[in-house]
Chains A and B, each alone.
Chain A
Amino acid sequence: MSLALPARHLGEALGSLRTLGRRTLLALLGIVIGSASVIALVNIGDNAVEDARSIFKDLGTDTLVVQFPAQAGDQATLPPTLDLDALRQAVPGLAQLAPVQMFSAPVSVGGQSTNASVVGSDASLQGAMGLRLRQGRFLSAFDRSGNGAVLGAQLAETLGSPVRPLQVGDQVRINQDLFQVLGILVSQPNAVLVPVVANDALIVPFDAMRRLQARTRLDNLIVRVAPGRDVTVTGKALEAALARLLPGRESSVQVAQSILDGLTRQTRTFTYLLTALGGISLVGGGIGVMNVMLMNVAERRREIGVRMALGARRRDIRNLFLLEAMTLSAAGAACGALLGLLFAYLYARFSGWQFSLAGGALPLGVGSTLLVGLFFGLYPAVMAARLQPVEALRDD
């Protein structure tokens, strides 16, 4: 087929597809659905990954949490505190290092009372968890054992009344002890890994915990790694240092990044699965193309014979039918692209995600559709080209 006349050949291809009528429409529908599902599913998967990332972005992928898992009969071996300064010196790159001890207790202000998670920590918790204050101030280095407290947003709301909201300077009762409200936190999302639920927390100085509980123990360390430091490497160093400082005591360091990576990997796996599903429906569409092209070839056997008698070479015949199959798939790819993007957009809207066009969705969807059209169009086209002229022209 000479390249000088592409417009005319395209016109002929369109004309012959039109004469096949409803069958062409059905094949087109199949390829549109296949192409649309590839594009929609790739895009939806990509948006899901983006959404998962954005949810966990604020929690700080630079956060490490050290846990001290309970061991049978080891209550005595756990030191109530740890030499944090020694730890800071042993492990470079720790921007914030906050000890955490937690227990649940009823707290009350005036007539209002509720259960709160009482958190003993120090000034570095603010940096380690990225806490922001709505009112007042956070614990300072001078509040080591004083009776100041910082309340989470949700807790402050529960303890206040609409008539008289909780304010800095109010007294909060925990068991028999009174603490003065130093500050109230801004409401913030839960951080993955970090055991402290900031919104429900009542944060008091670490050493003040002695007055509240008979036996104090260090539950966790919340660590923020300095910018530019490799979180995983720092985590390993921290683990080694802890093993040295607390001999015989097991500690486990959890890295937020690795959990995030796991999550992302999981979401990606789903994306691959979805893409494979889209691919399967695309193959179904391709079989539809092959079907309509085989009928097309059978119905136009005589025309093939006439064209051969007039001097069409095998490749002219092959290209004639291949062009029709490709025209069909290109039209399907174009409609599928629009439909797929529309579907992905609606899906993102109804899932409350941010819609964004995934870079790979369109090239992958359109490319695979054309490839499928080529693959399934090739067999009928080659069959047509292999016909012997005398057989193609025979009446029967």
Chain B
Amino acid sequence: MVHPGLISLNGINKSYLQAGQRLRILSDVSLSLAPGESCALLGASGSGKSTLLNILGLLDQADEGEYRLAGHDIRQADPERLAGLRNRLIGFVFQSFNLLPRLSARENVALPLGYRGTPRREALARADRLLERVGLGQRGDHRPADLSGGQRQRVAIARALVGEPTLILADEPTGNLDAATAADIMDLLLGLNRERQVTLVMVTHDTRLAGRLERCLEMRQGVLHEGLAP
């Protein structure tokens, strides 16, 4: 069976048990994304978009349905293999940055390489190159606490990219930033999407930001719709 796309979701269902009741979060979600595509994922709070992003990012498992990522059948993979796939294929950018406070910016960026056994010296050299690319070449030794919000998100983006993933998953990456910084971060993400042909999936509330991406998807009560609601 040939899967031309990078991501192929088919008939994904997910529900949680809450207060003794089955709560349906995702119903029959199907989606395919091509390499290099950029895609915005919109939806109200509780619509299931975060759950979908977690499933895409291999942080959560669907109850039913098929998921293939870069040719790997995710439903068959054990936790060990999922960790390896996350490390090699996916870069995460979180709304709250999620940098490790005790590590310097450079060490934060080098972290994913450590988990694939890259020698430390080489990992730090690659981290420095990525920090250069996101415009923080001089800040490698700073702790996250000494950086501004925008700088922290740049470090996080560098960390997401250091392993040369094929997919960037960004969960409201500009949600905690002011408008000007948010625009900078968007420019950075879209620039990286274009120059590295890395697929970008971004969860956002902001329809204006969503408009800058090639595709728009909207979650409404667990159902995925192509394009924006009128």
Contact = CB atoms under 8 A, between A and B. Distances in A.
Given A2-B114, A303-B100, A390-B54, A311 B159 contact: no
Contacts of B98: 302, 306, 309, 393
A314 B102 contact: no
A5 interface: yes
Contact of B111 (A2, A15, A307, A389): A307
Interface in A284-322: 302-303, 305-314, 316
Interface of A: 2, 4-5, 8, 12, 15-16, 19, 302-303, 305-314, 316, 388-390, 393
Contact of B84 (A5, A309, A313, A389): A313
Nearest to B112: A310
A1 to B, nearest CB: 9
A382 to B, nearest CB: 13
A12 B116 contact: no
A311 B117 CA distance: 11
A268 B216 CA distance: 80
A257 B24 CA distance: 83
Interface of B: 54, 57-60, 79-80, 83-84, 86-88, 92, 94, 98, 100, 102-103, 111-112, 114-117, 119-120, 159, 163
Contacts of B115: 307, 310-313, 316
Contacts of A305: 59
A313 B120 contact: no
Given A309-B57, A310-B115, 10 more contacts: A12-B102, A306-B100, A310-B112, A311-B84, A311-B86, A311-B163, A314-B80, A316-B83, A316-B115, A390-B54
Contacts, number: 68
Nearest to B111: A310
A310 B118 CA distance: 14
Contact of A393 (B59, B111, B120): B59
8 contacts: A19-B102, A306-B94, A307-B111, A309-B57, A309-B98, A310-B87, A310-B115, A390-B59
A313 B103 CA distance: 20
Nearest to B100: A303
Nearest to A18: B102
B114 A308 contact: no
A311 B116 CA distance: 8
Give the interface centre of A2, A305, A307, A310 by most chain B CB atoms within 10 Å: A310
A308 B120 contact: no
Contact of B60 (A12, A314, A390): A390
A198 B119 CA distance: 79
Contacts of A8: 120
Given A15-B102, A303-B100, A390-B60, A309 B86 contact: yes
B193 to A, nearest CB: 20
A309 B80 CA distance: 12
Nearest to B115: A311
B95 to A, nearest CB: 10
Contacts of A393: 59, 98
A302 B97 CA distance: 12
A338 to B, nearest CB: 29
Given A311-B88, A389-B59, A390-B60, A16 B102 contact: yes
Give the interface centre of B84, B115, B116 by most chain A CB atoms within 10 Å: B115
Nearest to A309: B92
A314 B100 contact: no
A305 to B, nearest CB: 8
Nearest to A16: B102
